[in-house]
Amino acid sequence: MRPGIVSNTRDYDILHWLYWGPAVVTNIFLKFFNADEKNKKTRWRVMLRRLQKMQDARLIEVVTDNRAHERIIVLALKGAELACKVFSLDIENAWLHAGKDQDYYHDLTTAILARRFVFNAPEDITVDLLFEFYLKKERQRRRPNVSGIGYPDFRVHLYRNNKEEKTFDVERDCSTIGRHAYAEP
């Protein structure tokens, strides 16, 4: 094998897919490497080798979570910059955060929902998503000293013929929000 990484179109597609949130290894296999006529064990080894090269090139990061029961692939900053350059996306809205106290199960389910909006939209509708960390940053620019405000996981803007049709907020609950958040004062 040649040292280093030479990016191909499948790598760019994986980075574009990870731009919208983390994914487990099995989902990446089913989306990008699974071919019906090919040997699945061979395709799995090819995928693991490719992901390892992408990790060595610091395009992606691999994390674990007990609730996910599988390795989770997260986009790294270098990979986000490459995806943004190729697909003309906004780097500030890329899903990059990976940390020790991260709830990856919530992130995985939220990312699946976000990808459904982006990749399964009808052709005549354009979807624009803003994630929670982007919304927090925008709010801090406008009103820096506001506390006690909740942020949705992401905001969806739907456009048809370059006119905004609808805007709504999406909050994915994974048993992290108690009843007191919805109780009347």
* Residue 75 · residue 98 · CB < 8 Å: no
pLDDT, tens digit, 9 for 90 and up, residues 75-92: 999 999 999 999 999 888
**How many whole angstroms separate alpha carbon 100 and alpha carbon 136?**
20
Distances (CA, A) of 91 to 83, 96, 106, 155: 9, 10, 22, 17
Flag whether pLDDT at 128 surpasses 90.
no
Q: What is the pLDDT of residue 138?
A: 62
Flag whether pLDDT at 165 surpasses 90.
no
**How many whole angstroms separate alpha carbon 178 and alpha carbon 174?**
10
Q: How far is CA 38 from the centre of its chain?
A: 28
**How many whole angstroms separate alpha carbon 55 and alpha carbon 73?**
9
How confident is the model over 154-161, as a mean pLDDT?
85
The DSSP output letter for 30 is I
Q: What is the pLDDT of residue 76?
A: 92
Flag whether pLDDT at 185 surpasses 70.
no
- The whole-chain average pLDDT of the chain stands at 81
Q: What is the pLDDT of residue 122?
A: 85
What is the pTM assigned to this prediction? 0.79
CATH of domain 9-181: 1.10.10.10
Flag whether pLDDT at 135 surpasses 70.
no
Flag whether pLDDT at 148 surpasses 60.
no
Per-domain residue ranges of the chain: 9-181
Q: What is the pLDDT of residue 59?
A: 93
Confidence band for 124, pLDDT divided at 50, 70 and 90: confident
**How many whole angstroms separate alpha carbon 82 and alpha carbon 110?**
23
Confidence band for 113, pLDDT divided at 50, 70 and 90: confident
How many Cβ atoms sit within 10 Å of the Cβ of residue 150? 9
Half-sphere exposure of 160 (CA within 13 A, CB side): 8
Q: Which residues contact 5 (CB under 8 A, 6 or more apart)?
A: 11, 53, 54, 56, 57, 59
When comparing pLDDT for 17 and 100, which is higher? Answer: 17
Distances (CA, A) of 5 to 52, 123, 130, 172: 10, 34, 31, 36
